[in-house]
Chains A and B, each alone.
Chain A
C-alpha cells in the first residue's frame, strides 16, 4: 500500500499572544489572549475554530497572518517558518495565504472600484493593469458575480455581493490557505448559506484547491461546513474533533454550555 505522508499546509505550535499592559511594560495589566495553541491544517481540509467573543479567535488569526507579533511559539506555513517574517518576505508569504474579513464593505477601499481591489494583489505580483482587470473579471464570474459590477464602488453593491468580491480578491493570488474570519457573521442567513456554498464549491474544485481556516461563532454553520473543529475558550483549545461528535457528545464543560446555548 502506498501511503503518502501529507505535509500540513499550516502548523501552529504553542502560539501565544499577549497584549502588553499600559505603556507596553506594566505586567499587571498584560493580558494573555491566546495561550499555547497548537494545531495542524492539512491540504484541502476545512478547519473550524469556534468560541465566544473574547476567546482569542481574532488574536490567533492576526498572529497567523502576521498582523500581530506572537509572544511565543511558531507559525509554519507550507514548511516555512513565518513567525518573524517581515517586509518583502512577508509579501511573498501573502501569495500563499489570504483572508476574507468579517465586514465585506469595510474590507474594500471606499474610493476604489471592486475590480481594482480584486486586482491589487495581481498587480503587486507583476501583472499589468489590463491583465489584472481581465483576471479580476474572470474571478468575479467564478465567484458568481456579474462582471458589470467590476466598475462599482463597495457602497454600491450589497453585502453578499461585496463578500463574493472579497473571496474573489482572496483567491486572485491562488493561495494555499484561506482564512475566513467571521466571514459570514455580518450577512443575512440566506446570504450566509450562499457564501458557504460558494466556498465549498470553490474548495472542491481541483484547480482552486485550498485549505480553509474558518473562524466562526455559529456552531450550526461550522457543523455544515467544516471537517474538523477546535473550540477556543479563554485563549486555550478546550476541545478538538469532528463537528458532529462535538455537538452530540461534548466533553468539556464550556463546550456543553456553548452548545446548550444554541439548541
Chain B
C-alpha cells in the first residue's frame, strides 16, 4: 500500500511540474513571438524598442530553460 501511495505522490508531482513547465515555456515563447512582431520597424522608420527588448527577454528565458533541461539530461554536469 505504501508503494502505491508513493506512486500516486510522484504521479501528482510529475503531473503538476510537467503541466507547469510546459505551460510556462509555451507562454514565454508565444509572448516572445508576439512582442517581436509588435516591435517590427515601421515603414516610416519608427522602431518599437520596448516590445522588442521584452521579446528578447522572453526568448532568453526560453533558452535558459532549454539549457537547464540539458544540464538535467547530461549526468556529467551534476555528479
Tell whether A pairs with B: no
